[in-house]
Every structure is written in structure tokens, then in C-alpha cells.
Structure 1
């Protein structure tokens, strides 16, 4: 990919974040997501790429925009794109912290193509690279990670999602003496924090969305961390009801169609096959990773994390936006 595409992608996440911010605290997560999706798609379609959405808003029948397989761009480098226009739609709707607009881009074939289903994820930073194994119990993994980092278990910090499915896992980790930070949503940000030198987070473990897992794998590879994942059908996560099993069986059928296997351990290199990736995330609300948007009248300020994997360059970009000067098709979503 051309080097200057990185800045183009940062403008895409900035636009999506500004669109989501308009719905901050209004209680309508679907409206926030819809606005961010429309602006992200519009800006991607002005970018000099021949892009394909490989991780997006879902299948073509369920998502009118940014669906898996959609072509975007005006022509140029062949690029695979993984997006999450708002990671944390509920957090945006409720005015809570850590909401982001996220995009990862790489050469064709860079990213795992997987259905929108659950994924078990275990993420660590460079200091514990090579010691994780999702085939082992989580408790054993935590012991191995602590040893690799030269830490005792009572100084190890794990971030997970505050979901009922994690209640027993959280209790088991705390019984080991591990400190657990349970956040409502946002495992991409939590994963990145394992690799940031100024963060105290050592491990991210959760069962969350597969799209977020692939995005995380891309940025974790760019930051020289490590990650394992495992695709899980709905009935193995949400309970074996008739409805969940029916949904889960459809997910397994879709896995077979896409050439991926649920239930096996996916290593980072299976999910992100190249380090020639660009990752961009713009904060919507203030969080542990990024500042949120601030706005005075029609002037807004954003902070974006922009990472180029091949040269391992990490940039934090503060931008001031005069909103009425944006493209006409964008202005209506951000003013």
C-alpha cells in the first residue's frame, strides 16, 4: 500500500467518529451506527483504492452498506478493509467512555474472512509473545504470561468484558489473585492497551465479536504482540436454546462456505496474514486509549491513533475540524 493512504484512512475514521458523536447520549445506538456507517462508506468511496470490505456490518442481506464483499474506492491499490464504524454503539448512545471509530486495511488476502459470530480471544503484548495457547486453560495461560513478564499473579492485570458469560471466568481469575478490569464494551481498545508501553494492562481475554477479533489481530500484529482466537457458534455462548442452536447452525454453515472452521485455535497469523497494515482509530468518547471528541459550536477536535505496521510507526493525531466546511454528503450527519 502507498504510504499516503494512512492519512486517508485517518480521515475516514475521523468522519465516522464525528457522525457518531452527533448521537452521543441520545439513547439511539442504531441511529449513531447508521450515521457512522454512511459517512465511513462515503469517505472510503473517495479514497484512491480498489478496496473490498472483508470485515464489516454483516452479510449483504443484513447490511445495506459496508457489507462483507462490498467494493469501495475510486481505484488504486488492491486493499482488504476491516471496519467497525462504531466500536461501542451502546456506549455512544449512553454517553459512556471508550467508544471508537475503527478501520484496518491491508494488502489483498491480509485478513481472515469470517462470519459475524462470537470469538474467544486472548491477547498479550510483546513481552509475552509466544507463550499463549488457547488450548490450555485460562488459568494456566495466566501463569505462563506472568512468568514471561517477570510478574507475580497478584500484579498481573487482565481486561475483560463485563458480561454475564464472563462472571465465572472473572471469579476464577480473581481467586488466583489477578486484578481484573471489567469494561462494558470495547475489546479492540482493550486489546491495543496490552501493547502500549504506558498501559498497565497485561492481558485481554473475552468472548466477543469475531469482526472485532480480526481488527484486533491486525493491530496487535502491527504492534508485535500476540493473539489467539477461536470462533464459537451462538448456542455455545448464549445457551443451547432452540433459537440459539438454529442461529448457531447457520453460523457454522456460513463458516464452511467461507472456508473457516469454528472451534479450532486461530493464531494471530491466521487472522492477520501480513504486517503491511494500516490501523486507524478515532475516539468518540474519552477513554483509556484516546481522548473523545470535544465540540464548541461548529468546531470539533478529534484524536486519532494511526499505526503503520510495516515500519511500526505509531502516531497520535490531534485535528481541528470546521464542520461546515466538510463535504456536502457528510455535513448533514455531523452538524
Structure 2
């Protein structure tokens, strides 16, 4: 069996290379208004980078089923080389395709890896989520009223409810939630896309974000869980199927729409590595900055075994077709 330290030591910087290459490729399309090209470029670069690694990887969280290629589809096998670490992979080559295409903040490339069975295989349906930072982990409940959770969060952070900022996706379905947060005295920050990066911001001090609430994609919930397990934060989520077909698929995967799933349920693995690289500027990560002969990227990478979070500033030089990366 691969040890915790060997898997993390071997792959932590490799995962950064994967998200860096996806972000660099996507950055050539940022601001051009074509979200499909942003996604295509990042996906192709991410697949190429994954296939260069010494892994035996299976995509368990991807962008669709096999017939939707060239996206990194659920069940796709990636990797090569001699050592072949057997791992499960959750990817989102571009979280926030629309914001990246528009040149708006918080577009990122993201990946999480774990030992086999270390990441839940979640269906692509909605999930009601509650994300809180480490001081509030284990102290909130998705089933509680919004006001109760905000009071506990404020106490955990030793702040007033009026000081709290809650990120919510800007959707009509969240109108009641938004009213509840504001009525409790907290502030709402509405975002167009990007609940993974918003959840990371909530788990890191100094970003000005204290929680994430509301419905988002279940696959993004699994990716978020991998990061929060490394950071010590918490996500709670409940699947929200909207059709009979979605309910049947959920049951077929052995999942219960009435159950509240925790961080440990969504990312049960002990050999977890998470990486994200900024495509456009945001609260936590800077976007790709291009200059004559190269580009600069800003990434965050973390491992559950080491409990170390690294922010990596890399300069990628391109001369005569060759690439050289310098990490600071």
C-alpha cells in the first residue's frame, strides 16, 4: 500500500503543474466572451498534464459522461509512467467558465486527488450546502435556521453577526435565503459562479468571507470537501434532486436525498491533495499574468497528511518552443 507521505510527496507539486497548465491555456481565452473555448482549452491542457503523470487515475468527478468528450468525463482513465499511483480524481478545468470568458473575478482551474474510494462519486445535480471556517466546524447544522447558524458562526469567530459576510450564488432560488441572512444582520456577497473558490476563501482567514450558503453543484461540493478536509473547515450538504430521473440515479448510487452529508462523507480519503490556480484575479488567488516571453501564475496546494497549505507563485518562461517554470 502506498504510504500517506509518499503519495503526497510525489504528487503535491504534480497537481500544481496540472492546474497551472489548465489556467495558462484558459487564460488565452479570458475576456473573449467564449466560455466553450475557455473550457476546451483548459480541459485539453489538463488532460495532457494528467497523462504525463506516474499515476493510474480515474476521474470520479468530471464534466459529464463519456459521450460528452473532449471534456474530462466521469470514468475516464488518465496517467502513465512506471510507478502508477492508483488514485481517484475530481476535476473542474475551469470553475467559472462564464466569469473567465467575461474576464470577471474568481475563475480558477481546480483538481483534487485521493486514494481509490477517497472521493464520493456524486451525481451532477444540485446540493444544498453550508460551508464554514475551522473555528465553526462541528458547531453548525444545515438543518438549523439561517439565523441560528449565523449566531454560532459569529460566536466561533468572536465577532458580531453584523460583521459576517456570506457568499450566495446570485439565483432566483436563493431569494428567501438572502432575505434570511440580511434579516439576521449579516451581509450577503452575491456571485455569478464559483462556489469552490468562495468556500476556500471562507476557510482562510483574512479574505473577508465567512461562510457559503445555498444550492450549488454536487460535484463541486465533493471538490470543496477535499479542500476543507485539508484546511480543517467544514461543508455540510444535502442532495436536491429535481426530477424522478435524478432521484432514481441518486438511489442507484446508494445515496439518500434526506441525509445531510459531511466533509468526511464527501471526501473520506486520508491521502488527499488539492490544488487550484487562478485564471482571473480573485480574493484568494491572482489570475494569470502574461508578459513577453512567458506568464506568471498563482496557486494554492494542500495535503491532508501534511496539513500544510502552500501558496505558489510561478513564472513560466517560453523561449523557442521550450518551457521553463520557476516557482517562488
Deviation of 1:144 (Å): 2.1
C-alpha separation between the residues in 1 aligned to 2:165 and 2:8? 38
Deviation of 1:158 (Å): 1.1
| Residue 93 (structure 2) aligns with | 85
Distance 1:65 1:156, change over 3 A: closer
For 1:1-335, list aligned pairs within 5 A: 1-75=7-81, 76-233=84-241, 235=242, 248-323=243-318, 324-326=321-323
Bigger mean CA offset, 165-174 vs 24-33: 165-174
C-alpha separation between the residues in 2 aligned to 1:326 and 1:54? 31
Give unpaired runs (5+ residues) of structure 2: 1-6
| 8 Å CA contact retained: 2:19, 2:110 | yes
Give unpaired runs (5+ residues) of structure 1: 236-247, 328-335
Bigger mean CA offset, 93-102 vs 196-205: 196-205
Deviation of 1:2 (Å): 4.4
C-alpha separation between the residues in 2 aligned to 1:226 and 1:275? 16
Deviation of 1:204 (Å): 1.1
C-alpha separation between the residues in 2 aligned to 1:275 and 1:196? 21
TM-score, normalized by length of structure 1? 0.90
C-alpha separation between the residues in 2 aligned to 1:2 and 1:279? 10
The number of equivalent residue pairs is 314
Deviation of 1:326 (Å): 4.4
The CA RMSD over aligned residues, in Å, is 1.5
| 8 Å CA contact retained: 1:132, 1:228 | no
Secondary structure in structure 2 of the residue aligned to 1:69: coil
C-alpha separation between the residues in 1 aligned to 2:159 and 2:107? 31
C-alpha separation between the residues in 1 aligned to 2:205 and 2:156? 16
Distance 1:60 1:258, change over 3 A: farther
Secondary structure in structure 2 of the residue aligned to 1:139: helix
| 8 Å CA contact retained: 1:58, 1:115 | no
Deviation >4 Å, runs of 4+: none
